[in-house]
Structure 1
């Protein structure tokens, strides 16, 4: 294998595959300088590497990468391995030389495909479009950058026209081709825009002319309308000023009457305002009497309570006396115990004094004997040397015997003392037990009483809560009832006032024109017969149809319905005679004959938005129904104007529709509508006149029910207050009883606790005494035995001492008596000291017991003092209660006497109140007379308002002003001299203008604006069309320039490739010749490219006559020629040498090495000769799970002396020798 030559740095540095075809796991291939060879058995997945590079660079044809659909590139699974959900391939390019159109020195391109569908492209981790990847990689020329299996031979098998694309890639025309495609697409869009703009302009131009004519028509109509409005505004302003003057005079009259009414009302109010004071005094007198009776009742209650408390105090005094006797008996017992203890203490003191005297004598004697013995020992010190041991032993035994005897004496003394203490403790236990039983019984009684009282208190507290809740509920109900009654009274007064006003307006004919009003007055006065009333009075209408039917009927609402024709003639004659105006009459007999049978449009009724025929929506008597049918039988009530328009074509002649909002559409095509300035309310007012009496009666019933409910609630609240007061009194008594029992209960608990402590101490003392008695008996027996043993030992020592000390008899005779006397004296002294200590302990016990007994006596004396104090307090309280009862008895007597003048004062105040009520009634009558005068003035005012209202209605209808009086405040100057003096002439002029407006015809107010907008749009579109045409021309010029550049570059590249192909053919074949021929198409289109080859030793022939190896070698020569003319940054050859023999492989290898000096080469091969030229080797294997695996090896680093078989690649990589 040859050593690697110096080659340029690689452009393709890394390929990563994950889930792509057989590469299920993440696989990375690193490409370095030189030639990289990929080897492996068939089916191991080598060619999938070529497919991966082609796919990631933007290949969109599944067949090119040996697939049927995009999902086929995702790993489909294998034995023991599940399918992948995504395929991902990433290539990394070294862009330090800026051979890619990117500012980055390293460029990564990633493509992903998902099994669920869809995919994505990324450049340096940022999502991009396929177009961006194609633009980035346009310079690669995939057709010869990645040469797959069979594509080499395909280049020869293609038709001449198809082969041209290979050379276009070689000429770097891909980027220009993309620009041409984009330019042609933009040109097509531009041509489409030109066509669309031309169509729009052709559509707009006729409409623009029509709008121009309409604009002129609208100007003429507007001038006429302005003149009409000017006349109407001046005319209506004159009428409104005159009517306003008359209205002002009527308002002045009403104001005068109002002042008079106010004065009368103030007088009445003054009297009424005085009534509360009188009623208050009456209430005060009543309250004073009730208060006095309540106080008197309280005094009687207090007297009863005082007598009851006297009885309780007397009972408590008796209880204290009984407790004092019990305490005295207890105290006597304690005093006897103290006497006994004191006697024992005195005896103990006397015994202690006697022991002290004996101790003094014994100490003196012992001291004297000690002195004598000291003198004797001093004389016999030398003689005692021999008998020292015997003497010491004897002396020790003697001392031990003395100690034992002292201990025995002390134990005997303690036995005598213990017997006395046991008898005393037994007596104390018996007395303590009896006292404890008594105290526990008394405490149990107190606890039972307290528990019962506490339960009663809890029960009373719950009852109090319930009573208070009940009281709060009743109080709230009373407030609610009062508020309800006030609201009902207010509603009733408002309804009554409204009814009275409407009744007066109805009787006076307010709102009616002069003629109908006069006829109705004559009818009510009995001057006319056969009059049933105005139409508005005789019909009933649902509220939702008020507006529609008022508009539909219009002035017919004031038509007067009469029975016969002669009734109408009579009324008209009276109107003429009295010059009282005009009126329209509806005689039932003539209306009935005129109606006949009317054809009803049945196909309209029931449609959406149709409420029905107006006459069917009105309720009236059967006589009046004919009139209603005549006026409303040809009017259909509908929801809105769109419904009216829909029914327009199907309406019979003479019919019309009216909407709920009041718009009228007629079968002739006209429609009337607009803003509803105000609601005349004629029908609603008549409805109120019918409904208000029933409403007032219902309110009266509710008021009566509310008053009855209030009375019931007042009775309930008095009962609830009484119950609460009783419960509070009972609870206070129980709390007082509980508080009085608490101190005695605490004392009993303390006494029981003290006795329990005494019992505990006595128990401890008895237990100690029992233990001590047994120990003493045992100790006495042991001491007796020890004394006997010690005495025997002492006797033996003395005998020995007599035998040994015979020589010293003289000295011993002199000292023996002294030593014996000294021993006896010491023993006596020790026994006396022990008796003294025992007596002192007994004395301390007696002192402690005496102290406890005296403390108990003191406690008893304190209790006696406390009970004496409580007794004195109760006696004082009893005296006070007796005094209080006497005073309360006197107060009750005085209260009965004081009640008499209060009752007399109440009677006098009630009489004054009745007199004042009479004065109020008189003033109310006077006020009512003034109210009638005020009503007459109001009637005049209402007539003036009706006249003004008529003018205002005309202003609303004609001038479309929501507030008619705004006409008076109009700032527009009107020259009244321009108006005809005659009002009728003005009306005629306005009518003439109205007719001219009708002839000219109305055009929408927006037509001028529409014309201006359409003209502006026409000019804009014309400008846009010119701009688009210019852009189209620029695009055509650019495309022509691109085509010329592409053709020029193609021809240059073709010449260069043709020369290189001839050279490569000669080198690869070892002779022969070949050339490329550019053949133009018959129709003048760009022609294809033919290949003419002449292998060595053969004549010139076509490609079809070449052998398989010759075809492959010719295709390789063409590929190398293209790469030599336009070197690609890298090239991947997939088994292009498969059909070559060994001799041709050598020439192929040499050419490949030459190519590697300019282009990075990656070769997928089975050929050993090709592998020998590689610098880096990748081995591809496939395991049993269907997943491709890689092995990499840099051959230049291996210390091989000779070639090796590629089948040994795995062994070489593992370091295993292969030779």
Structure 2
């Protein structure tokens, strides 16, 4: 077996399709550095299935595609084909020549072909295994591989020697077989868990099927009983109906004569009813007018109160403004006094300046001191001038405020006059509305008296009509009593049906204890009937209870012993629990932090205080999860 030729297209530096033929003996490839000698060896390793980009001097597998040059554009794919002479039959295939082709596109798609037939990488690896060909086989010797053979690492030598000895294929098959066995073992474990769960569901469905069949049988029997009972009641009622029909015909004749009289009275009553309707309409209009008057009075009262409040607020504002005006006048008087003091100080300062000037002329030595005194007096005069200007500005502001206050006071006086006028008008309207209200009340009393008289006539007519219908009602009552007798019989049949089918679907031991044993009254009931389950959780709770769902609950241990003795004597089976369960419960496990766990199943079951300890014991460490895989994982991790 030898390589006959190699076809390369688009691989690294090979832009054009290149075919290299290998003759007998040794073929050498010679050329300067960078001409692509190593690319030929890497092309052989790549077409034989090399998956590591670093083994062919690349960062990613797309680097093997021709990337382009200054004069040539990049290619979109790389293809390498190697042809092997198989005339000696070393490859397990019925061909004298075998061509392996590998293609890689820039999109990441990769194809393998064996003699131009698409295949998998695994098919190529199985074909070349133990032949010395392959990406890591000894047929392609690099400089580093010689060091691996002579190194002290036995793993490297062993890998190459196993490839040469032809046992790599068997080791790979053994490794694959072991992986399949481990996967199969895991599937079997999961299958056993699924079988257990399915078995519990089958048991549940079996009990449901038994109940359904029993229900169908009892339904058929019930229909037969109802049919016979109805037939018997029909003939009995038909005999009772004959005298009632005779009496009914007599009453019908009497009723016809009474109906004629009733029609005449009805016409008269209709006339009076129209009169009552007209009176009620008049009364209603008067009531509407009265309501409008009352609303207008309330609205006027509210307006009067609002106007009074605004008036009081304005009076308070006038008082505050008057106080502020008095304060401004006082401040103005003080400012005038300060101005007079400043003018007096100015006169004194001027006299002091004159005296200082004379002293300057007389005493030359005190000139400097006089000049200092003059400067100080000048600064004091400037300060007094500033104060005088500030006082003038403040006086102007206070005068403007006084003018504004006077204007506002005049406006308040005008508003007060308007309020007084409005108040007088409201008082006049109030008196007029009061007069109208008195007249409306008088009309209302008159209308009520007429309405009372008409209602008395109407009630008398109704009484006469009732008397004419009494005989007819007695006949109808007899028919109703007969119908109630039929309904009572049907109710008794339904009660018997519920009693008879109440425990169908349970085991024979439970039915014997509840129906045939002398201890029937000692039991509180069946556990499944003593608890309430949230909607949609019936099957989950029944699966968690198992056979205990149809177990009996007894008030004490003595009742439990009596029941078990009775069941054993009659060769039956039944579960019995004491009401107050005192056995130590298992240690609770908190699984709520685990992904997939919804809530403890106990949260969906409600029970009375008597049976709550028993329910707690049966549902300890039972959780509702999202799926079966989560349940199996929790069962393995928390088997204890």
Question: TM-score, normalised on structure 1?
Answer: 0.22
Q: Which has the higher contact order (CA 8 A, sep 6+)?
A: 1
Normalising by structure 2, what TM-score?
Answer: 0.40
